[in-house]
Structures are given as structure tokens and as C-alpha cells.
Structure 1
Amino acid sequence: MADPTGKVVAITGAARGIGLATATAFQAAGAKVVIGDIDEPAAKRAGETMNGPALPVDVTDRESFTAFLDGAEAELGPIDVLVNNAGIMPIGPLLEEDDALADRCIDINVRGVILGTKLGLARMVPRGHGHIVNIASVAGVMPAAGMATYNASKHAVVGFTEAVRLEFARQGIEVSAVLPTFTNTELIAGTKSARGQRNAEPEEVAAAVIGLVTKPRPQVVVPAKLGRQLRIGPLMSRGMRERMARWYGLDEIFLKHDKEARKAYDERMRG
């Protein structure tokens, strides 16, 4: 068991959504938190709200990410927990997805997590302790039509996290993945919930991250009951899984979204 009190926590993509909820939860638990985000004005606003440090970070750029971690440690001391949360979620028909957006999704969601994990480990391993938490998604294990590139990116995060966990388990380092269901943030703007399922709230995901740090585990699904369903899935035939996907609406809900409601997020996502 690890008490978050006094721990130094750095979080990427923390100016809003899951990242901000996680920063707020850690602060409430007694941790010292540094907010990082590529949107510097939004990061500063979040930092002012929390009365804590907020720094710019482009997770796809080694120099920028290193400067963020250096700045975090200069402000608060050695980092105990790094939460790789920054991510984007393009949706829609695959043949309408432009290559630049696909590249951006992989750069942020996959390469950003890989880079952050490397940079975090380089600081934690010599100290003999630390925890890397990578925010993946249920989409990493449950595909849906209309989000193939996002599915691929989160599938990569799940596999990467497990491999790194095995590699560093004997060096005092914890490495965990959080797999939230679709969560009520701007990432799902203009979409409907899967049939029979409710979206999670950012605070639920934040609580799961706190729980992982308090009691380290390799992986957690949010909500927990969905994790039980996901464990049953591989035991089913492909035909059964595809029928279930259709019943949930995963064959169409990300193809028939409200483009106007999603316009603001799409523009920001493209940088």
C-alpha cells in the first residue's frame, strides 16, 4: 500500500477532462501535483484554479517533455508518479480520415506514452522507486467501427504497458494501465453512448488512478463491472463477439456522430 500524501505527481494532458480530474483528486489526497498540457493558456488556468504549478508540454517532442519533467522536479522535487494521460480521439469513416490526423493520433497516443515512460523511468530507476500510469482505454481491447486508428493506438498502449511492467518489476518500479470506458469529456462530443452502457465521469477515472497508486496493480478498467465483461469476451466465439458489438451499437455509433457538435473538438484536436 502506498499513501499518495506528499508524493510528487506529474500529469500530461491535465488542463481539462480526465487529466484535470486526476490532478484535482491527487491534490485532495495530499499529493503535490504538476499539470502539463500543450495548451499553455488552459494549463495556466487549471494551475491557478488548483494553486499549483502548470507547465507546457508537447508529449511528442523529447526536448519539450524533458523540460516539463525538469520543471516539475525543480518546482516540487523528484517525481514519484507520472501519469501519461495526453491523447486525442479521431472518429469517423476510415477512408475519410486524413493521413495527417492519423499520424497525429499515433504520435500523441502511442509515441507520447512511449517517450514519457522512457523519460520517467530514466529518473525513477536510479532512485529504486516510482510509478508510471498510462491512460489507455477500453477501446484498446474492444474495437468499434469508426475509430480504427484510435483503437490501434490504445491497443498499443495496453501491450506496451504490460511489457514495460514485466521488464521493470524487479527494479522497484510500478507500471500500470487504466482502461476507461467512454468518458464524459470533449473526446466523445457528438456521440451517443453504447446501448445498455453509461459513460464514465472523469472523477471515476481519477479515483481509479488514485487507487492504482495506493494499491498497485497492472491494470484497471473503469467502471470495474465492465472489466468482468471484457474478461468473458475472449472466451466467446468471433460470431458471438460481433453480434454483441452490433447489439451495443459499436458497428455504427462512431460513424453516425453529430459533426457539428464535434466541430470545436475536431479543430482543436488537429492543432
Structure 2
Amino acid sequence: MSKVIAITGAARGIGLATARALKAKGATVVIGDIDEAAAKEAGGRLGAAAFPVDVTSRESFTAFLAAAEEAAGPLDVLINNAGIMPIGPVTGESDADARRCLDINVHGVMLGTKLALERMLPRGGGHIINIASLAGVLYTPGLALYNASKAAVIGFTEATRLEVQDRGVHVSAVLPTFTNTDLVAGTASPKGQKNAEPEDIAAAVVELIGRPRPQMVVPRKLGRQVRISGLLPEKVRQSMSRKLGLDKIFLEYDPEARKAYDARIRG
């Protein structure tokens, strides 16, 4: 895979796993993260260029893409992966958390997409992949803010895809299920189900780059289940949610286990 690929939020979790998988396939990967020290450490381990990027800042994001292209060449793929996940009762969500979540998860994706399009459209080629979530289509108590942000990403991605589809640039969304990263620290898995691993999402991204399509759910079987559940009566859907424990997972969690993550995303 002889492509130049930049990834935001790539110092850890899904972003890092994706960088590792793409580099193993022969891509030239550029790591971006707001945590510059972690980005440099990850880049050093992978043998990849790494630069700081604050996805909420046009100046910072523009500088990141410029540095990526200077280090690796014209950008073929941008993966907007950076995101945060505050959890808990909607009445307990601070205004600061709400603004920061939407700024990173939504405006960061919008900004990255626009900046990448400015580079890709004149060349007549490129691929933008926005890491959304099944939370954008499956709404869960204790996850209202995150649900809203990822629903926005899915809508934005699809509308942008339709707008540029005849101009040589692909725009795609990836919708992972609960994944074992810091985002789910202190929470339980749905009953009878196991969380995905970052490597599962990375494999899906590799596949998506090789064969672009509008959207990919990970794992794929959940995409079928989501479509079927949408046809069921509301009472049935809620009953299924309770059986899986989804009505409590993000309300009854271990705050101590999330302390480090919460401090980082609010920092």
C-alpha cells in the first residue's frame, strides 16, 4: 500500500492500532495527537513521523497537514480519529464537557475534512475516513452527549460524501462498537457480548482504504442487527436493551477507574 496517511488521535488506542496496521501494509503513516510527547513516543516505536495537532484549532490542524506533507509527500488519506467520550447522567454533564466533546468530536472532524478537501479536490483524488461510532445510531442512557456527537459525524460524513463523490475524493465513516480503549474505562461490556479490540477497527480501516465504501460497521454483523432492530417496536427495542444491560452501563460505572481518562480529556 503506497499511500501517505495521516491519523489524528494516533498516540494510543484505535489511532495507534490503525497506524501500526497501515505501516505493516507498506503505507507511509504520519501520527498526530494533542499529546505531543505521546505522539513522538508512538512515532519513534513505529518509525513514523509524528507531530502535535489540536483538532479544534484551524491553525494547528493546518500546520499538522502541512508538516505531514512535508515529511511524507502529498496526502492520500486523512483519518479523523481524535475523539473523547464523557459519560454519566445528562443532568450531570457540565457545559464545559459538552462544549469540549462537540468541539473535538464534531468540529474537529468537520475542520479536518474541510482542510483535507482543500488539498485533495484540486488533485482529483484522496480519501477521508471519519471514525464515528455505533453510538451515532444506537442511543444509550448515560451517553447522550457522545451519542449526539457521533450522530453529527455520521450525518456530516454522508452529506459531504454525496457532495464530492463525482470529484475523485472518497469520504467514509467507520462505526465501531464498544472498543477496549481508555474511552470505556470503568464500564462493563453488554451482557453476552465482548468489546472489540483496537486492532479490529484498524483492520476495517485497512480494508476500507483498499476498497472504499460510504460506511463500515465493526463488527460487520452488528450492522445487520442495527438495521433489523430499527424495524422493531419501541417496547421490544427497550426490552432488548435492558437484557443487554445497556440501560445502566454508562450510568453505573466505576468513577475511580475513569479518573485518569477523565482528567486527560478535560486537560
SS of alignment partner, residue 171 of structure 1: coil
Partner of 2:95: 99
Match of 2:83 in 1: 87
Matches within 5 A, 1:190-205: 190-205=186-201
**By how many angstroms is 1:96 displaced?**
1.2
Cα shift readout 1:13-34 (whole Å, capped 9, x = no counterpart): 0000000000001100100000
Q: Using the TM superposition, give the Cα deviation of residue 93 of structure 1 relative to its aligned residue in structure 2, in angstroms.
A: 1.1
Residue 52 of structure 1 and its aligned partner are, at CA, apart by: 1.4
The Cα offsets for residues 9-65 of structure 1, whole Å up to 9 and x where unpaired, read as 000000000000000011001000000000000000001001111000000000000
- From 104, 108, 112, the equivalent of 2:104 is 108
Matched, 1:219 2:220: no
Report the Cα distance in structure 2 between the residues aligned to 1:121 and 1:239, rounded to whole angstroms: 43
The whole-number CA distance in structure 1 between the counterparts of 2:226 and 2:173 is 15
Alignment of structure 1 residues 24-35 onto 2, 5 Å: 24-35=20-31
In the TM superposition, what is the alpha-carbon distance from 1:169 to its structure 2 partner?
0.5
CA distance in 1, matches of 2:223, 2:25: 25
1:6 corresponds in structure 2 to: 2
2:163 maps to what in 1? 167
- Unaligned residue ranges in structure 2 (runs of 5+): none
Q: TM-score, with normalisation over the residues of structure 2?
A: 0.99
Shift of 1:220: 0.6
Q: Mapping of 1:113-124 within 5 angstroms?
A: 113-124=109-120
Classify the secondary structure of the residue corresponding to 2:256: helix
- Greater than 4 Å deviation, 4+ residue runs: none
Per-residue Cα deviation, 1:102-150 (whole angstroms, up to 9, x for no partner): 1100000000000000000110000000000000001000011001000
Instruction: Work out the CA distance in 1 between the residues paired with 2:48 and 2:15.
Output: 14
Which residue in 2 is equivalent to 1:245? Answer: 241
Q: Select 1:185's aligned residue among 173, 181, 188.
A: 181
* 1:54-101 alpha-carbon deviations (Å, 9 max, x no partner): 000000000000000000000011100000000000001111111101
The yes-or-no answer on 1:62 pairing with 2:58 is yes
CA distance in 2, matches of 1:6, 1:68: 21
> Distance between the aligned counterparts of 2:208 and 2:231, measured in 1?
27
Q: What letter corresponds to residue 170 of structure 2 in structure 1?
A: E
Of 44, 49, 71, 1:53 maps to: 49
Identity among equivalent positions (%) equals 67
May I ask how many residue pairs the two structures share in their alignment?
A: 267
Aligned ranges 1:222-237 → 2 under 5 Å: 222-237=218-233
Aligned counterparts of 1:99 and 1:248: Cα–Cα separation in 2? 30
Q: Secondary structure at the match of 1:126?
A: helix
Deviation by residue 1:145-196 (Cα, 9 ceiling, x = unmatched): 0010000000001111111110110001111000000100000000000112
Distance 1:124 1:152 in 2: 29
Q: In 1, Cα distance between the equivalents of 2:224 and 2:265?
A: 32
One-letter code aligned to 1:110: V
Instruction: Give the letter for the 2:25 counterpart.
Output: A
* Aligned residue type for 1:10: A
Deviation of residue 247 (structure 1)?
1.5
